[in-house]
Structure 1
Amino acid sequence: MPAMTQAMTQAMIFPGQGAQKAGMGGELFDLPDYAAIEAQADALLGYSLRGACQDAQKLADTRYTQPCLYMVNALHGIRALREGAAPAFLAGHSLGEYNALHAAGAFDLMTGLRLVQRRGELMAQASGGAMAAVLGLEAGRIIELMMAHGLDAVDIGNYNAPTQTVVSGPRDEIERALPLFEAAGAGACVRLAVSGAFHSRMMHEAARAYAGFLDGFAFSPLRLPVMSNVTGTFYPAQAPSAVIASLLVRQIVRPVLWVKCVQGLLRAGATSFVEAGPGNVLTRLIAQIRAAAPSDERAAVT
């Protein structure tokens, strides 16, 4: 990526599933940007997106969560830009990467909604899996334990922070793994309220179907550098549409390399972070990543 000037130090980051909460969005739905597309969005989805954001039961279903969170993240980002945010870099965690790509100009707001609607539908169809966050153990130790106990069907789903890792796989194997992690010193193992084993090999069928769906889309060149969850590095400068599509397909089955993404942003010169979405889950993770980083890579989080 091209070198950034000293003044261009802000990164805008967008959260993924897990950040949603009933009542999110609120007055953001009154922004002119949403008013202009609300009828079109609701017609596409077959329900009121504004209404679904008030419904905790719906937000527990991936089919609703992904479109709702995508739109709320986008509106948070739009408002932040109007209030003076000027990001030099963009990144998002899992679903949030779609918001980063939208903010970089890869597609418009409604196209992004179509993408995440289909993504959520396909991911919801992959049943029988589970995910759990393991706190207090480093990822390397978790992998050692899985190998030592024959947990071959379990994958790492998210590298969220130096001592926060999400495992993903068949439900029975996840249940067998958690006591082993706790016995090895994990501070807690938190089962995630998800319908499947996201970011694992159990999502291969969903990824193949999504690849076919993306054949009907053309993505525009990125106007700002965007971090890829798959590689933990920036999308290539002037990334062709096919490259963007390939990375989005692979993201469904590959782990979210959030630690590597944040480390890359810090090395690129990010000195502050603006979280565009409900809550501050990514801000807290970045604080943990910064605490473990060399002093010359640390940045202020705002």
Structure 2
Amino acid sequence: MTLIHLFPGQGSHRPGIGRDLFPKFPHLVRQADAVLGRSVEDLCLHSSAAELTDTRNTQTAMYVVGALSYLDRVRETGEIPDVVAGHSLGEYVALFAAGTFDFLTGLEIVAQRAELMARAPEGGMAAVLGVEPDRIRDLLARHAPEVDVANLNAPGQTVVSGPRADIGRLAEVFGDEARAVVPLNVGGAFHSRHMAAAAEEFGAFLTQYRLATPRLEVVSNVTAEPYGTQDPATLLTRQIAAPVRWSDSVAALLERPEPEFHEVGPGQVLTGLVAQVRAGHRAPAPSA
């Protein structure tokens, strides 16, 4: 059996996350408060949905709650996963679990990432349902060339990213070919070329940190492969402007011996995506 922990990203945030966790880890909550300059518990439990959706708040809140969720699960079960993976921001929780950085360092890095991404030119994202990625790229190239494929989430579910005006007319671009085009409640064109300047500045910021080689196997959003000995700072810098290859990552994990997935953190978004990828995945043939 291969135990796999998955950590969600921004799409799983909602007011009330972490309610049961904060009393269990008071020392880490105090560390988070010191970094953020405000109460992370108050942010998660008492802010409005609009305030929590601000990228600066969403990313830091989801990192804190994800990290505490991981620690709580390990403490309760006594089980360390064989492999970890996170969706976009969730990859930072995976790297915390793997010992690439400690809780406090990870939060400092996430806070800077969030700040830089929030400062990027205004943009938006939308989920396109029922259209294959190659066809999406073809239609975007012809009718919305400033929009990029951002998240390859599952067969038939691809997120695109670009200027808000272009995102607003995607229903017209895809027409009857898409089962639905669903705008996402985000403040930027994440994982697209429009994040290039933020990625460059983030890479320069990371040079002040010494990031350790992961002690657990961590699957990269950028490559859909384990980090191995690749430099974490390089992959994290690329991740800001590169597509999240989630479907490819899950498909590769399904090839592991008896993969057992557990979503650790708020919501069940990734559990649903795993089910979609699994439904279209051909299981490996048994060995002789």
Question: Aligned-pair distance for 1:230?
Answer: 0.4
* In 1: Cα distance, 2:31 partner to 2:168 partner: 42
* In 1: Cα distance, 2:243 partner to 2:70 partner: 25
- Structure 2 residue 20 is matched with structure 1 residue 27: yes
> 1:213 aligns to what?
205
* In 1: Cα distance, 2:225 partner to 2:256 partner: 10
> 1:195 aligns to what?
187
Q: Secondary structure at the match of 1:267?
A: coil
* In 1: Cα distance, 2:44 partner to 2:9 partner: 15
Residue of 131, 134, 142 corresponding to 1:140? 134
Question: Aligned-pair distance for 1:177?
Answer: 2.5
Q: Secondary structure at the match of 1:235?
A: coil
* In 2: Cα distance, 1:47 partner to 1:39 partner: 10
TM-score calculated relative to the size of structure 1: 0.90
| 8 A Cα contact 1:24 1:278, kept in partner | yes
* In 1: Cα distance, 2:128 partner to 2:61 partner: 27
> 2:218 aligns to what?
226
| 8 A Cα contact 2:254 2:283, kept in partner | no
Residue of 52, 68, 72 corresponding to 2:43? 52
> 1:300 aligns to what?
none
What percentage of aligned pairs have identical amino acids? 48
Unaligned runs of at least 5 residues, structure 1: 1-6, 298-302
Residue of 248, 255, 259 corresponding to 1:267? 255
2:109 aligned partner, one-letter code: L
Residue of 165, 173, 177 corresponding to 1:185? 177
- Structure 2 residue 69 is matched with structure 1 residue 76: yes
| 8 A Cα contact 1:89 1:270, kept in partner | no
* In 2: Cα distance, 1:235 partner to 1:18 partner: 24
Per-residue Cα deviation, 1:182-236 (whole angstroms, up to 9, x for no partner): x132111111111110000111111111111101100112111100000011102
Q: Secondary structure at the match of 2:252?
A: helix
* In 2: Cα distance, 1:134 partner to 1:156 partner: 10
- Structure 2 residue 287 is matched with structure 1 residue 295: no
> 1:99 aligns to what?
93
> 2:84 aligns to what?
90
Q: What is the alpha-carbon root mean square deviation over aligned residues?
A: 1.4
* In 2: Cα distance, 1:291 partner to 1:111 partner: 38
Question: Aligned-pair distance for 1:270?
Answer: 5.2
* In 1: Cα distance, 2:22 partner to 2:265 partner: 13
> 2:124 aligns to what?
130
* In 1: Cα distance, 2:177 partner to 2:197 partner: 35
* In 2: Cα distance, 1:80 partner to 1:259 partner: 25
Unaligned runs of at least 5 residues, structure 2: none
* In 2: Cα distance, 1:82 partner to 1:20 partner: 23
1:281 aligned partner, one-letter code: V
- Structure 2 residue 101 is matched with structure 1 residue 110: no
| 8 A Cα contact 2:263 2:270, kept in partner | yes
> 2:160 aligns to what?
167
* In 2: Cα distance, 1:192 partner to 1:244 partner: 28
* In 1: Cα distance, 2:277 partner to 2:15 partner: 28
* In 1: Cα distance, 2:39 partner to 2:12 partner: 20
* In 2: Cα distance, 1:147 partner to 1:208 partner: 25
> 1:3 aligns to what?
none
Q: Secondary structure at the match of 1:27?
A: coil
Q: Secondary structure at the match of 2:107?
A: helix
